[in-house]
């Protein structure tokens, strides 16, 4: 028996490849399926089943394409409905893969079809669970993504989740390995661990949601407390995962169009495409196409695209580092953004050589800001998440979290210069690009973000441990 976790850091997502005696099960695959096909070929094995723990909201799964390529059956838990052929399993239904078995444990709560898959080894011993978004390391899945027309509340779903964990998961042995669908950085939970594998026994000790003496009422309150609205693209990804989607290779073929600066400019003027610049933030600050939006490949690219662009049908024109055009299209497709019209051939250098108009972002060091603050009253805007801001922030700074920046546009002055920062510089440059695209140009970015601000000895609020907020 072989179990391989295929972890994608930019999505904080774990897919799984399980092989036994020439047969393979793939759990929660990503949209580009070549890695799974290649792995099976190396093992001289056949992919028999594709298990989906639920209808994913934060990425487009590879189940439809992988089934088409291999003839494997797609498995969903009870209550699932799809527009393609799939086995809708019953609770406790068993699937044989080589010398091992995988049992469906229906665990409604995160969504109503959510299921945990229990792997038993060659001797019939419980070995591991693929817990999807039902159980993370340090947390559980948010219970607010499956509400339908008001018939279910997040409190209802949290109650289902409490029952699922205590009747299906917690009775399993402490040495059972937990393989979750996500880790730290995912929007599918509140407090996910950076670790990606653990034992169930350790989770029973360290995960607040598995506390043995917790009542259902306490669980519901803790799980629903502090939930921020889910990103706008989530329902669109769910729809694609339910109804199907174009093969990734087809998306890549039609999207990887090299456009000269003139053709790129014409496409931008003739369509409603967003110009998405994915270079490093420092390069973007030095020069970029006017009204371009920065979301760099070096950060949490796909989740920020989903959260800020939101509409997966939005046409996009790309400015990328040389050689990363296909990588960018791939990572966009993972969250359902398939409408790339092309990329700027030769990158931003070609744009400048063609004597096209370009813009810049003024960026200063935190030490410079310290000198300015000592001489005058300045406006500082912090675009970090709420927990980061409440934990510690520049005195008198205004909080305008990047996730919901469009809701705060009226907070920014139209004339007076103001300063923007995040934790390290990535998110503040995204914010700067969005503000400039809205016609707000009187901003200055703080290079290095809050980390640099603290080192500069600018006055900040008293530190509050995030766990006590």
Q: Domain containing 52 — which CATH number?
A: 3.60.15.10
Do residues 266 and 368 both lie within one domain?
no
Do residues 142 and 196 both lie within one domain?
yes
Do residues 222 and 266 both lie within one domain?
no
**Domain tally for the chain?**
3
Please spell the DSSP secondary structure of 36-68, one letter per residue.
HHHHHHHTT-EEEEEE-SS--SSS-BSHHHHHH
Domain end position, chosen among 213, 235, 257: 235
Is residue 340 classed as helix, strand or coil in its secondary structure?
strand
Do residues 86 and 154 both lie within one domain?
yes
Domain extent at residue 132: 2-235
Whether residue 60 lies inside any domain: the answer is: yes
pLDDT at 143: 93
Do residues 349 and 367 both lie within one domain?
no
Instruction: Considering only CA atoms, give the Rg of the chain.
Output: 24
Whether residue 272 lies inside any domain: the answer is: yes
Query: Who's near 321: CB < 8 A, 6+ residues apart?
Result: 278, 279, 280, 297, 347
Whether residue 241 lies inside any domain: the answer is: no
Spacing of C-alpha 178 from chain mean position: 20
In this structure, are residues 302 and 363 in contact, taking their beta carbons and an 8 Å threshold? no
Whether residue 142 lies inside any domain: the answer is: yes
Pairing of strands 23-27, 13-20: antiparallel
Domain end position, chosen among 335, 353, 371: 353
Do residues 348 and 367 both lie within one domain?
no
Do residues 306 and 275 both lie within one domain?
yes
Single out the residue of 108, 136, 143, 155 nearest to residue 207, CA to CA. Answer: 136
Domain end position, chosen among 328, 353, 378: 353
Do residues 191 and 267 both lie within one domain?
no
pLDDT at 469: 47
Judged on CB neighbours under 10 Å (0-12, 13-18, 19+), 426 is buried
pLDDT at 231: 85
pLDDT at 149: 46
pLDDT at 148: 57
Note the maximum CA span of the chain.
74
Per-residue pLDDT of the chain (469 residues; tens, 9 = 90+): 999 999 998 888 999 999 999 999 999 999 999 999 999 999 999 999 999 999 999 999 999 999 999 999 999 999 999 999 999 999 999 999 999 999 999 999 999 999 999 999 999 999 999 999 999 999 999 998 875 546 789 999 999 999 999 999 999 999 999 999 998 877 777 678 888 999 999 999 999 999 999 999 999 999 999 888 888 899 999 999 999 999 999 999 999 999 999 999 999 999 999 999 999 999 999 999 999 999 999 988 998 999 999 899 999 999 999 999 999 999 999 999 999 999 999 999 999 999 999 999 999 999 999 998 877 789 999 999 988 999 999 999 999 999 999 899 999 998 999 999 999 999 999 999 999 999 999 999 999 999 999 999 999 999 987 754 4
């Amino acid at each position: 028996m072989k179990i391989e976790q295929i972890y994608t850091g930019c999505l904080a997502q774990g897919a799984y490849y399980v092989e036994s005696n020439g047969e393979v099960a793939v759990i929660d695959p990503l949209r580009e399926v070549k890695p799974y096909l290649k792995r099976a070929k190396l093992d001289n094995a056949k992919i028999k089943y594709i298990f989906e723990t639920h209808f994913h909201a934060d990425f487009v799964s590879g189940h439809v394409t992988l089934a088409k390529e291999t003839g494997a059956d797609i498995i969903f838990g009870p209550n699932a409905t799809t527009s393609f052929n799939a086995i809708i399993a019953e609770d406790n239904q068993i699937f044989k893969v080589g010398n091992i078995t995988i049992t469906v444990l229906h665990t409604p709560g995160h969504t109503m079809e959510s299921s945990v898959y229990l792997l038993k080894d060659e001797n019939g011993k419980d070995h591991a669970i693929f817990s999807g978004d039902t159980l993370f390391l340090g947390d559980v899945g948010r219970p607010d993504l499956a509400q339908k027309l008001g018939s279910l509340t997040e409190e209802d779903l949290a109650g289902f989740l409490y029952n699922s964990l205590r009747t299906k998961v917690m009775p399993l042995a402490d040495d059972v390995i937990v393989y979750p669908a996500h880790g730290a950085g995912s929007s599918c939970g509140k407090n996910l661990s950076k670790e990606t594998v653990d034992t169930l026994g350790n989770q029973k000790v360290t995960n607040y949601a598995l506390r043995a003496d917790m009542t259902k009422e306490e669980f519901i309150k803790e799980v629903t407390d502090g939930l921020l609205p889910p990103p706008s693209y989530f329902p669109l990804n769910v729809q694609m995962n339910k109804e199907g989607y174009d093969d990734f290779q087809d998306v890549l073929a039609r999207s990887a169009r090299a456009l000269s600066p003139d053709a790129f400019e014409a496409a931008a003027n003739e369509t409603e495409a967003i110009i998405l610049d994915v270079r490093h933030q420092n390069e973007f600050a030095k020069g970029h196409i006017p009204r371009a939006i920065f979301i760099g490949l070096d950060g949490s690219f796909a989740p920020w695209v989903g959260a800020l662009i939101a509409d997966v049908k939005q046409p996009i024109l790309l400015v990328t580092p040389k050689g990363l055009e296909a990588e960018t299209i791939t990572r966009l497709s993972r969250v359902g953004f398939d409408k790339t019209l092309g990329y700027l051939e030769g990158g931003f250098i070609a744009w400048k050589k063609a004597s096209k108009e370009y813009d810049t972002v003024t960026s200063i060091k935190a030490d410079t800001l310290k000198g300015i603050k000592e001489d005058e009253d300045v406006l500082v805007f912090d675009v970090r998440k709420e927990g980061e801001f409440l934990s510690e922030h520049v005195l008198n700074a205004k909080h305008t979290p990047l996730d919901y920046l469009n809701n705060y546009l009226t907070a920014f002055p139209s004339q007076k210069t103001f300063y923007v920062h995040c934790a390290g510089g990535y998110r503040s440059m995204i914010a700067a690009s969005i503000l400039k695209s809205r016609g707000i140009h009187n901003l200055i970015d703080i290079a290095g973000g809050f980390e640099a601000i603290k080192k500069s000895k600018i006055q900040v609020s008293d530190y509050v441990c995030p766990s006590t907020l």
